Copies of this chain bind each other. A is one copy, B any other.
Amino acid sequence: MHPPPALKPALDALAQAMDSRFDRLLAVPEDPRRRLYEAMRHATMDGGKRMRPLLTVAACDLFHVEKERALRVALAIECVHCYSLVHDDLPCMDDDDVRRGKPTVHKAFDEATAVLAGDALLTLAFEVLADEATHDDPRVRLELIQELARASGPAGMVGGQAMDLAAETSTFDLPTTTRLQQLKTGALLAACIEAGAIMGKAGADERQRLRAYAHDLGLAFQIADDLLDAEGSSARTGKAVAKDAAAGKATFVSLLGIERARQQADFLIDQAIGHLSGFGAKADLLRAIARFAIERDH
Contact = CB atoms under 8 A, between A and B. Distances in A.
Interface of A: 31-33, 35-37, 40, 83, 87, 90, 92-93, 110-113, 115-116, 118-120, 122-124, 126-127, 130-131, 138-139, 141-142, 145-146, 149-150, 152-154, 158-159, 161-163, 165-167, 170, 172, 176, 179-180
A93 B115 contact: yes
Q: Give this chain's copy count.
A: 2
Contacts of A153: 120, 123-124, 127
B90 A176 contact: no
Main secondary structure of the interface of A (DSSP, over half): helix
A35 B123 contact: no
Nearest to A170: B32
Contacts of A35: 162, 165-166
A116 B162 contact: yes
A139 B153 CA distance: 23
A115 B127 contact: no
Contact of A126 (B149, B159, B162, B172): B149
A152 B119 CA distance: 9
